[in-house]
């Protein structure tokens, strides 16, 4: 598929870099961009050569400044509802990818952009980045899962404050409230993000997948049930070739070479 709104490349050792490439529109998300991101997810799931996915925005101003507002005047209530469902379905697919997904936020991360970043496993941000859900200033509300993921990440009160005021917060404040994992100087952000992605790509993919699944499923249940999920996953991962290789490499004082797969 020839992309008009994104750039997708795979770097060694299996790091996929997806760049939202609409800098003149501050990388705003229109239906075509959502479709192209969806196609990348299909490719990652089908081909299996991407072990970590990094998402960033083209240019220096924006990660994604939101949904493309120029599309809104054309929409009636049903079309707006379907557009929200389209974005939500895509972000659920991204959230459920069996590989780590890192948002590399290089600038404005607002509205749909903040919702996109929150559907990733964690967020690395430039010190110049700004975060927010400013839909209230248009007389509307977040539609791609913003009210729900934000409340789960930073708590109900802070989520209400951000969504009700529409105010932007700095990368450092976003880190302080638990929205962002790490903040880097702007000129080091992509390099540092790819460094972490490369390190993750060399770890056991079975173990990474299990960690992602157990944490995501466990946060919605009580502690005892969550620990049971963990114990089950621990037992299953223990049968993998990676587990045997990792333990043997540690005992033999050498670097593990993870390949994936389960033993017979």
DSSP string, 139-199: T----SSHHHHHHHHH-HHHHHHHHHH---EEHHHHHHTTS-SEEE-GGGHHHHHHHHHHH
Sequence-distant (≥ 6) Cβ neighbours of residue 143 within 8 angstroms: 67, 80, 83, 84, 87, 88, 112, 135
pLDDT more than 90, % of the chain: 95
Tokens encoding 104: 């590399």
Tokens encoding 234: 């621990």
- Locate all alpha helices (DSSP H) within the chain, ordered by sequence: 31-47, 77-95, 112-118, 146-154, 156-165, 171-176, 189-201, 205-218, 223-238, 241-251
Per-chain mean pLDDT for the chain: 96
pLDDT more than 70, % of the chain: 98
pLDDT score at 2:
86
DSSP symbol at 100: -
* Domain formed by 205-251, architecture: Orthogonal Bundle (1.10)
pLDDT score at 139:
97
pLDDT score at 262:
67
pLDDT score at 264:
47
**pTM above 0.85?**
yes
What confidence tens digit (pLDDT) does each residue in 36-85 have? 999 999 999 999 999 999 999 999 999 999 999 999 999 999 999 999 99
What confidence tens digit (pLDDT) does each residue in 203-215 have? 999 999 999 999 9
Asked if pLDDT for residue 143 goes beyond 90, the answer is yes
Catalytically active residues, by annotation: 115, 135
The dihedral built from the CA positions of residue 109, 55, 36 and 3, taken in this order, carries a sign that is positive
Cα of 46 vs its chain's centroid, Å: 19
Tokens encoding 250: 């540690």
Bridge partner residues of 52 (DSSP): 15
- CATH number of the domain at 6-201, please? 3.90.226.10
Where in the chain do CATH 1.10.12.10 domains reside?
205-251
């Amino acid at each position: 598929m020839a992309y008009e709104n994104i750039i997708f490349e795979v770097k060694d050792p299996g790091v996929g870099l997806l760049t939202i490439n609409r800098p003149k529109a501050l990388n705003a998300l229109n239906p075509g961009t959502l479709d192209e991101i969806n196609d990348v997810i299909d490719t990652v799931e089908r081909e299996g050569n991407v072990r970590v996915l990094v998402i960033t925005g083209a240019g220096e101003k924006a990660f994604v400044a939101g949904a493309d507002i120029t599309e809104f005047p054309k929409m009636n209530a049903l079309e707006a509802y379907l557009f929200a469902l389209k974005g939500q379905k895509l972000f659920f697919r991204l959230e459920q990818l069996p590989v780590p997904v890192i948002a590399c936020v290089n600038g404005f991360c607002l509205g749909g952009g903040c919702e996109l970043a929150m559907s990733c496993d964690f967020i690395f941000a430039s010190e110049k980045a700004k975060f927010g859900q400013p839909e209230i200033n248009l007389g509307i509300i977040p539609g791609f899962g913003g009210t729900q993921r934000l409340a789960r990440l930073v708590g109900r009160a802070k989520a209400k404050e951000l969504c009700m005021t529409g105010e932007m917060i700095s990368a450092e404040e976003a880190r302080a409230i638990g929205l962002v994992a790490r903040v880097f100087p702007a000129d080091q952000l992509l390099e540092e993000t790819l460094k972490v992605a490369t390190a993750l790509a060399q770890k056991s993919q079975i173990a990474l997948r299990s960690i992602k699944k157990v944490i995501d499923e466990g946060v919605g249940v009580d502690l005892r049930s969550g620990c049971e999920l963990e114990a089950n996953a621990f037992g299953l991962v223990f049968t993998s070739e990676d587990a045997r290789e990792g333990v043997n490499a540690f005992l033999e004082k050498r670097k593990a070479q993870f390949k994936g797969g389960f033993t017979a």
